[in-house]
Every structure is written in C-alpha cells, then in structure tokens.
Structure 1
C-alpha cells in the first residue's frame, strides 16, 4: 500500500538541508601564554552550543543589540538537529479545545514533582509565543482549515497539548533559527569545543570573564591543540545533555554537554537523579526513539538468543493477547519508563521485559510485517479486540489495515522514510532495539531568568535542570525556546553584552597551564579506557533498574577514577585532539555527580519514580507477570515529600557537596494589574538585575 502523501512532501520533511556557515573571520589578536600563541576572540556573550536553545538565546540577544558569538563542537550535529522520534513535539496551551489555560498546563508540566512551580508557569505562558515566533520564522507546524494547530497526546500529558511537523521537528527548529542567526550576522564558530570557564572575584562577587576552547581551525605549530580564548562577560551554556554518559544510549554520538565543565567552575547542578529511559534504536546504527506510531501500529516484538531461536517473551508477562497489544500501543504516548507502570500489567512492564531480555544476552526486535502473536491459550490478535482507548484511537485514525507496516504507512509514512534515509528498511526487515538513556531532566540549577549561581553564566535547553521528574513529552523543546528567549532578554536588559576592553591575567595563565597539564600522553588513562569504564558503570548500575548497594559501589569506583585522573591526567586519543580527552575527564566527573546525587536520594529513603526503579528487599511494590517471577524487582515506592524538593550538587575543591532545597512556589491566585505592573516593565524592574540569581 502506498502512502497518500506524495513522495516529494515526505522527502521535504525528512531530508532537511541545513544552512551553510560563513567563512571564518581573521583572528583579531594573539596572546602569548604558557608558551602558546593563543587567538583571542572578544564578544559580549559566548553561547556554548548551536542547538535550538542556544540559537534562540543568540538571536534574541542580537536583536537587542548585544554582541554574541556561538561556539559549537559540531554545528547541526547535536541532539536538537539529529535526534527525536516519529513525532517530536512542541507544547501548546490549548487544552481540550477550550482555549488557553496556563495554570492547567503548568500543573501538567510539574506534575511529577521536583520542579519549581514558577518555572512550570513560565514555560506554559511562553509556549504560544514560542510557537508563533517559530512559525513566523518558517517552522511548518500543521493546522486545520480553520487555522487551529493540530494536536495529539504525548508522554505524561493526557490532554493533548502536543504538536509536531514530523520526526524532524527539532531539526527544522534549528534550521529556521540558524537562518535567522546568520541573517543577523551572529558568528558561529564550528568545530570549537569549550572546555573551561574563566572567572574573577571571590565569593558572591565571582563572575565569568570568558572561556577556553579547543578550535580545529586555530591549530598551529605554536598552538598544537588549537587552544583559544573567548573573552566575554556573559556565557550561555546550551550544549545539551550528557549523551555519552551511558553505553546504552539513543543520543547521537559525541553529545557531551557541559555538566563537568560547570562543576569545575563552581556552578551548582540540580536533579541529576532524573533522566528518561525508553525503547529506541541505539547510536551504533541510527539512534531514534520508538515512540508514537512506531508502537501504535502494533508490530510483533520478539527476541533472538545466541542460537538464533525466537522468543515471544512478552507472552510471559501479559495475561491476554488484548492486554499485551494494548500496552505495546500505549508505549506510543507513555514512552518513558516509569516504575509505577510496571504494576498492574501496565505499559512499563514492556520496558522491564525488554531490559531483562537484553540483560540475558538476547537481541530484541520489532517486526512490522507481523501482528503480535497470541498469548498461549488465548485468542489470536484482532484489531476489534483491543482496550477501548486503543480501539478508539486506531479507529479514529483509520488504521484498520491488516499488517503493522500498512497501519504505520497510513498513520505516519515519515516514520518509514526516516529509517530508509539511513539504509534501514523497516518495511522489509525487523528492527533491532533496546531500552536506552534518552534525556537528562536535571542539569544546571537556574533561576526564573535562566541565571546560574555564577554571575554572568546562564543555561538553557537540556543543559538547564528545569524539567523535574516527568516532563510531558516534547516539552523540553518548548522549555529550551522559552528560556533561550528569557536568557537573551535578561542579558540584553543588563546592558553588559559588549566585548571587554582588556584580556589576560594571572588567572588566565593558571587556567591554561592547568588545562595543558591534564593532557598527559604518558597517562595510563586513555580516552577509550575512561569512556568504557564510565559508560559500563552507568548503564549497569544506574539505569532503569538499580539498588542502593550497587549505586554506592559505583559511586566509590567513580570517585577513585576521578582521583586517578586528577593525579595522572588523561592521554589524548590522537595527536592534537585535546578536546575529546578533556571532555571525557569532565564526563567522569559528571558521572560521579550523578551517582552522588542518586546515592544521597536512595540512602535517605527515596523511592522509585520516572527514571528508575529502586529495587529493595523491603520495597512496597512487586511487578506481576503471567508466568514469570518478578520478586527480584520488588521496589520502593516514591514518597510524597521527595516531590517537593530538589537535590543540589556542587564541587568544592575535590569533593562533591550535596544539599536539598524546596521547590520554588507560585501563587496561582495572584493576578497582574496593568496600571500597577506596567512601570516594572518600562523600567526593567521585572528583570531583577540587582539580585544575585540563585545566591539569594
């Protein structure tokens, strides 16, 4: 069966050509430091990361007259431009066709807990503006004939606030924002990896003065690593999440984020216990989340052992064919693993079953040319015998075709085209997949304007730890746009976004010397050995299934690795490639921070929630299965008190300090009043420029 959508339309929504970057500008000046000739680039703000959030911050600041440079490890190669699912979403504030309700949307965004109430409201209020501005820039969000945005349900939001222009929604966002940045003459420095923030001052008065980076274009005999200085009084960290943290990951290759860099600069991190895990194809091939219509088309899921034998393993977990198929379908809008959905034969029992097959050494596949096989002793699969919500959805979608591949082609042909672009034809062969790490919900602690605890440093996008436990699917895209805009507005209002007149200090000399000392070609710790150790430890002991003893042991091992790296340094993988070595040293530090936060959470009695099941012999809940004993997965349930707080991590010297704080509250009964509040806007008092961000 052919799709009703012409091929040229499918091509246009799948093959997104990105704009070409302009030629590098000549180096304005050189600085002799520690035996190196360092190129110096001055600007009012350095944005680290060229994804949707970073470009939004750069565009908004440039529109307000600020000087800004974007530094990108790989332009158009990050999470925004390269990852997603069959539907990648933005969030509207139109609920149940009754118009805008920001308070209801804010409650949905923060429903999982461990999220500031004011942040959730800011994201809700900002969502229509973000959508409208992206549409103005050319993002082709779908509408009906009356001009209303088409919407659907997604993870952790049953109302139907999400919208999408296909699997490449976030790439299209990057495209239109990049075109706007280039139109505004924002310099984008490609192949530039920022590895250290520079600061001056002490205590609460300490502030950022710039950053050191490795830049391929600036390598020379007098500077073999291509080390460069960006002198800037402001920095926006928007380089995404720590995708390389896990071996089992659906992130694109090379996504490191800036958590280790932030820790080294004394910046506070928050909610590192909170991630998202779910089914998807791994980055060894083409990394992609298998949510939405991939599972709503109801393919057959099976595993293959080392001898090549197939196993209909889900039949050991679900009691009937109808129950099995209906919960496979629900993974479409209940995609992330959640411990509570392992209970009562719900949808995360699918994740647990897949995780167990992988742990047993079996490979797991989806076959879109076979319907789900029956549970032994039960009736065969039938589209008329599904749970009511599933039957209604498929009926409304007109997805009554005989085979999953035809249902998928009818509902979302782009899902097939996307894999075909990467030489994977899911219409012809089964698709291998697993449970993978997909998103970090924690990150840099920020205030309502995106400020960190280090003056002049902001964060937006996945780098910012604003998402709490169970963000609605796709709302991270909205959050990145909202806070990217607010960061640009705030820096613009501060009138500090102009290039500094002087550069160079004793602190700069010390920073360059320290950075070069870490790159020790004689070190026993190579990039590969550190990567293998960190990724194995995180996937094996801090994935969807974990327990207190394993996490404590993993934390001790992570501390020991970082002690050795501080003493011995890390050996670059190849001559001149210092960036990757420093990134892995910082990833080892980020790994210790995640494990420290998780160990604190578990040791203080924290229970299972969005990211993980905390298994324990004294756990209150046990998943049930049709004919499989799951007593080993008895887990502790979440405590209500933990929803009201957030865990903070900060590096002091060589020790990670852990603290907690209550979520910031928001008074839903408060109302703006025009004549009273307009002066605050006119005078800039809304930006709270005299405050010290998170220090108060």
Structure 2
C-alpha cells in the first residue's frame, strides 16, 4: 500500500501546532472537541468542508436510549445484541446503553431541543428491532440537524477551539508506533498539523456506492489514511444498506426514516401487497439487513427499481415527519395520499478503525470515534438510532482518556518527507470515481458470492494500479484514492467471511457459521519514514499559532 498521497517535506511546510487535533464535524468529533476544550485542552478542529456539513446533520430518526417507564438499559442491550447478529461486543454495548442517557441529558442541558410530551418528559418513538419506544427525536424527523446545530453553537463559542474549515487531512505522520500529526490541504495549500493527540471522527463511506444516503464527503477518508499509517481496521465487510431511500428519477437518495415504519407504515410490492409479515415475525420492524434483503428480492423478482412504502393510513403523517413530507412533496409525492417509491441505499459502516473502549487505536496518540471507528457496538448490523448515541458516548470517552493521558510533546526534531511521487492521470479521476462506485454496487452490494467478489476485486485492483506511486493534489483525487483503499479493504474482508451474518450476505454461504463468530482485523506493515533534523531549522520553517 502506498504510504503517502502527496509530495511534501515537513521541514519547509507551513506548520500549525496544537495539543489536540480533532478531524470531523459530526456528533462524535464535535462532542470530543467541546468536551476536550471544557477540560482546558487546546483543540484544532479540522473540517473538510464547513462546520455544519456532516452525516449527523442529515440523521432523521433520533437517538436510542432507555428513558421509557417500561424500558431499561438491559432491554436496550438485548435489542442491540439481537440486531448485531452475534458480533456486537456485549461489554461495549453495555457501557453505551448505560452511559448514553446521561450524554443525551448533557446535550439537552447544553441547548439541544428534543420533542416532549405534555408533561415535559421526552417523547419517544420506535424503530426497527427495538422492543420498546425509546427513540429521542427533535422536530419529528430532524434530530440530527438539531444535534448538529446545538454542537456547532458550542464549538463556535468555545475559546479553546480553533476551526480550520476547508481542511482535507491527507496523511498521518507516525514514528515508532506513535502518531505525531498530519499533512493536509487547506484551501489548496499544503500544511503540516502537529499534535500530541489526534482524533479521527471522519464519518462513513457510503459514497463508495452509486446509491447512498450519505453526503459527498463520506468516502472513507479516515479509514484509508489510518490504514496507510498502520492503524488496525476491523469488520470492513459490514456495510449497512438502509431499506428505504426515496427512489425517484432525478431525485437524490433521500432517506425515509425507519421511524415512518415505526409509526406503522407498510412495505408493498408493485402488486400492492405486503410481503414482510410472511418473511419475519417483526414484519416491517425486522432488523435492517433483513428488510433491505427482502426489498431487494422483491425488486429483483419484478425487475423493478423500487417498491412502495405506504404511510397513507398514518394519522397526521406530514406533521409527524415534516422534513420527509416536504422533500417528498418537492418531488410530487404526498405521503398522506400517495405511495412512496423506495429502494435500499448504502447508509452506514459498522466496521472501521479498530479501537478499545476509550477510542484508542493501536497507534499511540491516535483515537477514533463515531462511524469512522469500529468499537464493537454495532456488530454485523447496527440497531437503528444507536449511531448518534455511540457518537455522543465515545466522543466523551475519547476526551476523558485524553485528559488522563500524558504524552511527551510532539518531537519537533522529527521531520517527514515524500518527494518521489509521479503526477496523477487527472483526465481519469472523475471517470474512475464513477467506475469504482459501479463496481462496488454491482459486486459488493446487498447480496454477494465468491465469483462476483473475485471479479470485483480484480476490477478494483486494476483501477488502483493506475494511481500507484502517484501524487494527489485535490480533494477529488484524494477521495478517489480513499475510495479505492476502502473498496479493497471491504472486498478482502467479504471474501474472507464465508458465511452470512447481519449486513454481510453471501448467497454461496447463506447461513451463519459459528466458526466466523469473531471479528477480523487487518493491519499493514508500515515502515517509519521520520528523520531527525536540527530543532532550529524546524522552528524557522514553522508558522505556529496560539489557542
């Protein structure tokens, strides 16, 4: 694997130094940044686009937590383990469901407004595979937007946080098992960011596929740069496809929240008949992997690009789900009168950068949280609305452990360089980005088998060879390289797991196999490139700033 993606030399680069570098502006990254700042740490928040652009802002359903009178963390734990198909780590799941309610209270105490009942208690919805109503939500179906808004306000007003918008992290800088910072592109300039602690909260990788609910930046950049630096990655075969994304020609893959089915909406085939009750005892509220596969099968049988979601019988559906209703109306669908055309779309990555229960990776000084991380909570199939919960819990836990960790100052006597990379064939980047998405959707989608996986792997390797040894200069080039790295990680993991479990379904191995009831972790051998130079030379070449 190519170690670095651009030509650089940290001896003569603009350098910014901070105590904590946090990468990402979703719930996990912002929680970590705010919590760190409030503990007195100086934080540099690196955001590839703007502070308000993240997967979190698009999350509709809510945050799962046991607040109901008929609910408790033990029940939430059991539902999490059931959805995870035998791979959710029980200890990690237990700490998330027990600590999570206090993190939601913290968020509410710090400005987040959640929907409440007449007596002032939290209004709770229900989603797939949940045995109780436990989904905390805001403005019906705009929970993520409210969480993002509240955290953005906190981050923007915290004096210990300095934000670099438009900052694309290119590579991590490591030496002898420790991470010392990163190289980045900031408005077209190459810069070096030195830090004692680096937190990756870069989100998911839905954009590896043609049809996804994820924003443009969800290309797996965090997982890719961590892999190149020698961090361990786990469970990369488990990509969740959300069952119900709006499927209209010319319309983006807009998510139709699982909460709509939680409120009673039915799935209908093109003949107008329900099919889920005959396929699973929980019908439309079965685990997401089950529902997505059943929809895919109905579409395949009918040679169709969609089936129907029927919410017409739900009282005041437009009031319950105002954002969904408004978006559907924009494309000519009235959810209270019309059937909604839907199809599955790539949605969430259960795997990622492997961490312990505090978000620590195998590289000293490097942490990961949120969708970029693999904590063991999500197992083979994420339970609905556990994602924002995990981001809150692990954003806080990362901040806590950093506060208890004493590392020496980043060694300014080290420098890194790569000056031998060739030019990228720019004319191929856009075409190959689209081609990689087509390959992933065709060969690594909802159903898989050895023949198609091997074919997909060969095609992806041939694509990747075009860029081996080449430098990247733009976010588009870097996104393609991240895609190809993650593509190959996923296909390798999918070929290795010869069973069907959760979101990973092999038609040639359709049953679970206890021999595979374990996590697989991958780590590349990386050779440290750091060199030593005189401290005065580093100081002369650096542009620092105080926080």
Q: If the TM-score is normalised by the length of the shorter chain, which range does it land in?
A: 0.7 to 0.9
Hey, what does 2:229 align to over in structure 1? 265
Hey, what does 2:286 align to over in structure 1? 334
Aligned pair 1:650/2:546, yes or no?
no
Aligned pair 1:233/2:158, yes or no?
no
- Counterpart contact for 1:282–1:436, Cα < 8 Å: no
- Normalised TM-score (structure 2): 0.84
- Normalised TM-score (structure 1): 0.67
Hey, what does 2:491 align to over in structure 1? 595
Aligned 1:280-295 pairs, distance under 5 A: 280-281=245-246, 285-292=251-258, 294-295=260-261
- Counterpart contact for 1:211–1:231, Cα < 8 Å: yes
- Counterpart contact for 2:24–2:201, Cα < 8 Å: yes
**Shift of the alpha carbon at 1:526?**
2.3
Q: How many residues are aligned here? A: 509
Hey, what does 1:248 align to over in structure 2? 211
Q: Structure 2: how far apart are the matches of 1:348 and 1:543?
A: 10
**Shift of the alpha carbon at 1:183?**
1.8
Aligned 1:201-240 pairs, distance under 5 A: 201=176, 206-216=177-187, 225-240=188-203
Hey, what does 2:4 align to over in structure 1? none
Aligned pair 1:58/2:33, yes or no?
yes
Runs of 4+ in structure 1 deviating by more than 6 angstroms, as ranges, are 326-329
- Counterpart contact for 1:52–1:177, Cα < 8 Å: yes
Aligned pair 1:426/2:389, yes or no?
no
Hey, what does 1:449 align to over in structure 2? 358
Deviations 1:511-559 (A, max 9, x none): xx36xx26x24x2772223212321111111111111221122223323
Hey, what does 2:156 align to over in structure 1? 182
**Shift of the alpha carbon at 1:327?**
8.4
**Shift of the alpha carbon at 1:263?**
0.7
Paired residue secondary structure (1:233): strand
- Counterpart contact for 2:256–2:324, Cα < 8 Å: no
**Shift of the alpha carbon at 1:472?**
1.7
Aligned pair 1:494/2:405, yes or no?
yes
**Shift of the alpha carbon at 1:233?**
1.6
Hey, what does 1:409 align to over in structure 2? 318
Q: 2:53 aligns with which of 77, 83, 86?
A: 77
- Counterpart contact for 1:243–1:438, Cα < 8 Å: yes
Hey, what does 2:383 align to over in structure 1? 472
Q: Cα gap change, 1:355/1:478 in structure 2, threshold over 3 Å: closer, same or farther? A: farther
Hey, what does 1:222 align to over in structure 2? none
Deviations 1:456-514 (A, max 9, x none): 11111001113212322010110011000000111112144x974x64634x223xx36
Aligned pair 1:551/2:453, yes or no?
yes
Q: Structure 1: how far apart are the matches of 2:198 and 2:182?
A: 8
Paired residue secondary structure (1:545): coil
Deviations 1:59-112 (A, max 9, x none): 11111111111111122222111x234xx22122246x246x434433332332
Q: Structure 1: how far apart are the matches of 2:73 and 2:106?
A: 18
Larger Rg: 1
Hey, what does 2:294 align to over in structure 1? 349
- Counterpart contact for 1:47–1:238, Cα < 8 Å: yes
Gaps of 5+ in 2: 1-6, 528-547
Aligned pair 1:540/2:414, yes or no?
no
Q: Structure 2: how far apart are the matches of 1:440 and 1:212?
A: 25
Q: 2:482 aligns with which of 586, 594, 607?
A: 586
Aligned 1:663-674 pairs, distance under 5 A: none
- Counterpart contact for 1:198–1:211, Cα < 8 Å: yes
Q: Structure 1: how far apart are the matches of 2:216 and 2:8?
A: 33
- Counterpart contact for 2:181–2:194, Cα < 8 Å: yes
**Shift of the alpha carbon at 1:240?**
0.3
Q: Structure 1: how far apart are the matches of 2:129 and 2:265?
A: 21
**Shift of the alpha carbon at 1:614?**
1.3
Q: Cα gap change, 1:158/1:494 in structure 2, threshold over 3 Å: closer, same or farther? A: same
**Shift of the alpha carbon at 1:114?**
1.7
Hey, what does 1:668 align to over in structure 2? none
Q: Structure 1: how far apart are the matches of 2:257 and 2:280?
A: 12
**Shift of the alpha carbon at 1:252?**
1.8
**Shift of the alpha carbon at 1:130?**
1.0
Hey, what does 1:670 align to over in structure 2? none
Hey, what does 2:507 align to over in structure 1? 615
Deviations 1:324-375 (A, max 9, x none): 8x989943x336232xx6xxxxx85334213555xx4x4436486xx9xxxx
Q: Which has the higher contact order (CA 8 A, sep 6+)?
A: 2
Q: Structure 1: how far apart are the matches of 2:247 and 2:523?
A: 32
- Counterpart contact for 1:280–1:436, Cα < 8 Å: yes
Paired residue secondary structure (2:495): helix
Q: Structure 2: how far apart are the matches of 1:294 and 1:159?
A: 15
Q: Structure 2: how far apart are the matches of 1:600 and 1:212?
A: 33
Q: Structure 1: how far apart are the matches of 2:64 and 2:237?
A: 25
Hey, what does 1:109 align to over in structure 2? 80
Aligned pair 1:156/2:116, yes or no?
no
Q: 1:128 aligns with which of 87, 95, 101?
A: 101
Q: Cα gap change, 1:452/1:34 in structure 2, threshold over 3 Å: closer, same or farther? A: closer
Hey, what does 1:27 align to over in structure 2? none
Q: Structure 2: how far apart are the matches of 1:159 and 1:294?
A: 15
Gaps of 5+ in 1: 1-31, 217-224, 303-311, 342-346, 372-402, 620-635, 655-696
Aligned pair 1:170/2:144, yes or no?
yes
